[in-house]
Amino acid sequence: MIRLLVFALFFSLCAPILSAQSDLHKFPVPTAAQLAWHDTEFYLFFHFGPNTFTNLEWGHGTEPEDVFNPTALDCDQWCRIAKQAGAHGVVITAKHHDGFCLWPSKYSGHTVRESKWRDGKGDVLRELSEACKRHGLKLGFYLSPWDRNHPQYGTPEYNDVYVNTLTELLTGYGELFEIWWDGANGEGPNGRKQVYDFHRFEKVAAQLQPKAVIFSDIGPGCRWAGNERGLILTETNWCTLDTAGFQRGLGAPPTDTLNQGNVNGALWIPAECDVSIRPGWFYHPEEDDKVKTPEQLWDIYLKSVGRGANLILNVPPDRRGRIHERDSASLVAFGEKLRKAFDKNLAEGKPCRLGQGRHWFEAGITDENRNTFAEFDVVPEESFFEIDLKKKKKFNTLIIREKIENYGQRVQVFSVKIWEKNKWREIARSTTIGARKILSFPQVKARKLRIAVLAAKAPPVLNEVRVFRI
């Protein structure tokens, strides 16, 4: 029996039923900041600092400040390319493990201020944050807890230093969408290791930038996806995770758990896939011919964003302080492919009905309006969405979204069928959906298609289906 079918447009009428339903299922759900983060989908990562000039990946922290000397820094160029690539934001290494600060921090003696660059008056973060505003990109900062330069590293005072530098970043450059804490934790200049006061860092971040999502192995905002290839490795990706007993770095959950999440995880901590467009995170001239192709980027996109995660793609600026021509060519071509691929939604505004047994209901999930949605029971073979494309059309890709807002993630298995030669033929089957699923299959030609949920943690709530020929 149909439990409920609601459109948010009639929300006021249905609200009592809706809340009664929702109370039945106390699943973790995203916060407002996490919802906005899910919609940010794809952004660029900039690893930039002394390593760019010394050809290292992990600087020692002893590099003279003068090595940092970009000859033609152009953050507008970075942002233009990010936009053309289809990215919605950028994250930069404000400080990597070598401790060098790309801004003139009051709490360090190892910063742009101590370098010759712009006569010690430069601030990369200022230039980037202003460029982001001009180009309509969101901004995030990577602030490495591990610091191989700071004299107080390895003592309780370093936690104060970290809080102070974090405060500078969170108060000096406008609104941030993400704060990045990597898991590496080695020794500082005195051979000492640090015990980080992450609890305090989290509190400071929540207070100063409540809309920023914190990335780390275990969140709290979003989680590392367990590999640096940018991939959700299987079709399954739960936005929920259990973190009790785990820590960042060596004490993190196993990488396959980070990749798939926990089906009944207690917390909403969705996956972010990180990968570099080159073999290294920092720029190395000898890698100029190892830039990933647009096709490789597309494959990564489908296996990260397409599997409900976010994608952070590293594009390291070179010694001029510009994105290298090879990288930009690849990114621009990828961006074009992305725009073309999802340009024409064949299902837009087409009739979509929810069928269950002999009952049919109109379902507002083809209207490109994320606020309309439909909730239904799982009754294989009897309960499904049917979309009528009105004419036979060729297609090979679907985008499906669950209404994670208020409802969380529920679908465990779903299938897609088309009406062909007077019967329904299954053309694809997959597992989780969550924030989004981009489902590809060999091209078919059909007028009608059905999406049925075969297993779910609770009555599924979908709010969007789009159909494409890519």
Binding residues vs ligand FUL (CB under 6 A): 57, 182-184, 274, 281
CB 274 to ligand FUL: min, Å: 6
Pick 30 or 226: Cβ nearer ligand FUL:
226
CB 182 to ligand FUL: min, Å: 3
Report the run of H or E that residue 78 belongs to, with start and end.
helix 75-84
Distance CA 3, CA 377 (A): 7
Pick 183 or 351: Cβ nearer ligand FUL:
183
Pick 182 or 375: Cβ nearer ligand FUL:
182
CB 196 to ligand FUL: min, Å: 14
Look at residues 13, 11, 14 and name the one whose alpha carbon lies nearest to residue 3: 14
DSSP conformation class of 329: H
Residues with Cβ < 8 Å from 109, sequence gap 6 or more? none
Residue with tokens 């400080």: 95
CB 184 to ligand FUL: min, Å: 4
Look at residues 343, 418, 409 and name the one whose alpha carbon lies nearest to residue 387: 418
Pick 18 or 312: Cβ nearer ligand FUL:
312
Distance CA 54, CA 110 (A): 16
Pick 129 or 144: Cβ nearer ligand FUL:
144
CB 453 to ligand FUL: min, Å: 36
The residue number with the shortest CB distance to ligand FUL is: 182
Report the run of H or E that residue 328 belongs to, with start and end.
helix 325-341
Pick 281 or 385: Cβ nearer ligand FUL:
281
CB 116 to ligand FUL: min, Å: 25
Look at residues 135, 211, 198, 126 and name the one whose alpha carbon lies nearest to residue 162: 198
Distance CA 388, CA 391 (A): 8
Distance CA 318, CA 290 (A): 14
Residue with tokens 């929702």: 22
